[in-house]
Amino acid sequence: MPAPAGASRGCVACGARVDALRAPAVAATEAGLRYFCGELCRLGWTAEAPPPSRAPEVAQAAPLLALEPEPLDELPHAPPTAPVDDAPSRSVVARARPVASDFDGLLLGVAGGAGALAVAMALLGAQPAVITARVALVVAGGAAFVARAATVARDPVDVHPLLTAVAPVGLCLCALAARLSGQTLAPEFVGVAGIVLATSSLLAALRHRVTARLEAERDWLARALSMPARRVHRSDAAIVAAHEIRAGEHIRVTDGEIVPADVIAADSGATVLPWLGATAPAPVVAGHPVVAGARVRSGAVEGQVVAAGRDRALGRLTLDAERRLDVASSLGRGARAVAEVGGLAALGVTILSRIGYGARPSEMVVAGLATLAALVSPLTVALPAAHLARGLFAAQRRGITYTSSDAFDSAATATTAVFLPRGTLVLGEPEVVEIESALEGVEPDRLLSWALGLHGDGDSATARAIARAASTRGVATDPVRSVAALPGLGARGVASDGGALLVGTRALLLEERVSMALFEQRVLELEALGRTVLLISRAGRFAGLIGLQDGLRPGARAAVQHLFDIGVEPVLLSSEARESCESVARALDVAHVRPEVLPAEQPAEITRLCEAGAKVAVIGCPEADAATLDAASVPVALGAAGSHLGEGWVALVGDDVRDASLSLLIAHRARSEAMVGLLLSAIPGAIAAVAVGIGRLPPLFAPLAGLVGGAVAAGHLHVTRDRDDLLATPWDLALPPRPDGP
């Protein structure tokens, strides 16, 4: 029906209000006219893109605010498809997700109502007319199931619709055949068919209800990541749709817009909300990644695209139908095997068992189909998948990404977490707090000058600390010659007065046969306070020391506690002295410390831990710890989301060590809850199937047991859904307006 004069409609592309009579752009489709707020939205919209699941006032470019989620009953049904980031590829987004559409609901209502009515009519007696009417009802219900299997799109998670329709349709045919042949078992067959129709319809409806929240968030995420951007070529910039962006191109995103692809920033200066749902802005650093979904608060983000479309960090396991976590994870595949293989096995075993009891062929088939219906339940697959998807969304709302489903599975089963303390548990920016001389005539400032001469050109945290201390004291650099860096040990060179100079660890001085026996106790005292001690030798004699103090990072204790909560053993692995490492470990209640392991030896140490049977997660910074992270079973890289990483990595957008531990905790809990959901859903039906197979229960109890199991598992999902604030939803975050020009 045409809109009345002055009526307001939503822009189909971005949701902004548009006057139907004054719309800047209009498109004619088979479904009618579509209105847009501008030519850009019309060009970027395709007929496959759905209207927004919400209609926020995006034209006002409201800031991202985390609001309370709506109750489940008030959520809109998920649209049939989601905005597509890679239009030419049909596997980018789960385009064929099932939806609780009106037609689907009608078919389920017909099937379930016909089955329930056929069962209820048993109260009218066993007259031929009543039996005929009951058979007609179940046949109509079976036809509705066939129509649903043929017309309703399938979510990649679910059992194939034809398999779910086998039991209802087969039982309806058995009931019809029994009635036409005049068998006395026709009323019993009709009752079983009616029960299966009713329970199967209820389970399908319940499946839509319990997963509606997750489907709405998936659609919201797809819409948020479908914003256009400016493709930069030389001095020109042209606005392109998100699905047209390719890796290797350069794009620019300005104030108030959302970054549609993972990029490596070309320069600094901009400020962004670093991921979808983030509330604290962060500066953009040149050469560092910016993930798709980051929203620019000030300045402009320009850089080279690392990943677009199906490969983006936030979309890889949520929007790609082939790589979705709930589809590709080992538990997701296992749940489908339980439903499909287990159901078919129950069918065959029940028929064979009934042969031993001398049952008639029709009775064997009915009993087998009843057990098949008990196990081929949509909730047996959907509920474990919902737990996994919920965990993934909770992680992404904290800026945690998993490069593959294997990475999520590995994080969920990690038994040991190794911290590389510098930059994770400790700040990584020490300060000089002690300078003590051991040679007569050598002043502390002279020691600092030598250390500055050896480390002054370095970019390490130690070099920066020495430079700050020298600047504060007004100490000039000694012009040290022949400087040679010794990774993990220190550095050597020749002082301006010609004496051989060493600045580094105890191991370096021992290697060069420099005695420091008289000062050993003092060094141990400083290390026991958690200080890093640089030892200085000149001309083969111990000259003094410099003590550096680093502080624990905010959240370090919470990060360790998260690991204790899931039974993962924390380990400190460092090249620092034992006393310094043990001081940090005591502050965090960490019992397992591996000190004085040089950076070059750390990958081998991780390999030894893995070979001892541990599933080892290593938490570190990719720039400094790349080799050690590569050796881990589960590399957890801070600040690496959106960059070039291999399969099996866990990458954080930020550098909060608490989120590194949460990446393991969330995966562990999601997997555990998914396993519980699978068991709660499948066990009642499996027990009833066994009882029916050996003749201890009538066939109609099998589908009823499957319904009970599904309802209990759905209740478990509801109880655990809002357990903590990790599961707050960002659906109400207002998306910005589309860019209006280059």
User: How confident is the model over 560-598, as pLDDT tens digits?
Assistant: 999 999 999 999 998 887 887 888 888 888 999 998 888
Give the C-alpha separation, 603 to 601, whole Å: 6
Phi-psi region of 124 (alpha: psi -120 to 50; beta: other; left: phi over 0): alpha
561 phi and psi angles, rounded to 5 deg: -65, -35
Whole-prediction pTM value? 0.78
Instruction: Count Cβ atoms below 10 Å from residue 28 Cβ, excluding itself.
Output: 8
DSSP 671: H
For residue 298, list its beta bridge partners.
271
pLDDT digits (tens, 9 = 90+) for 595-640: 888 888 999 999 999 999 899 999 998 888 888 999 999 999 999 9
> Among residues 163, 172, 121, 117, which one has the least CA distance to residue 144?
172
End-to-end CA separation in angstroms for the chain = 38
pLDDT at 52: 39
Half-sphere exposure of 606 (CA within 13 A, CB side): 30
pLDDT at 671: 94
For residue 535, list its beta bridge partners.
504, 545
**Residue 538 · residue 439 · CB < 8 Å:** yes
DSSP 434: E
pLDDT at 39: 52
Measured CA to CA in angstroms, residue 554 lies from 217, 349, 423, 551, 565 at distances of 31, 59, 11, 9, 19
Give the C-alpha separation, 250 to 269, whole Å: 17
CATH number of this structure's domain 400-426+554-653: 3.40.50.1000
pLDDT at 480: 86
pLDDT at 712: 94
Annotated domain spans of the chain: 102-220+319-390+668-727, 229-311, 400-426+554-653, 431-549
CATH number of this structure's domain 431-549: 3.40.1110.10
**Which parts of the chain have pLDDT scores under 70?**
1-10, 12-25, 28-32, 37-102, 456-458, 722-742
pLDDT at 58: 28
Tokens of 607: 């390999």
Which fold is adopted by the domain 229-311?
2.70.150
pLDDT at 79: 31
Give the C-alpha separation, 392 to 350, whole Å: 39
pLDDT at 146: 87
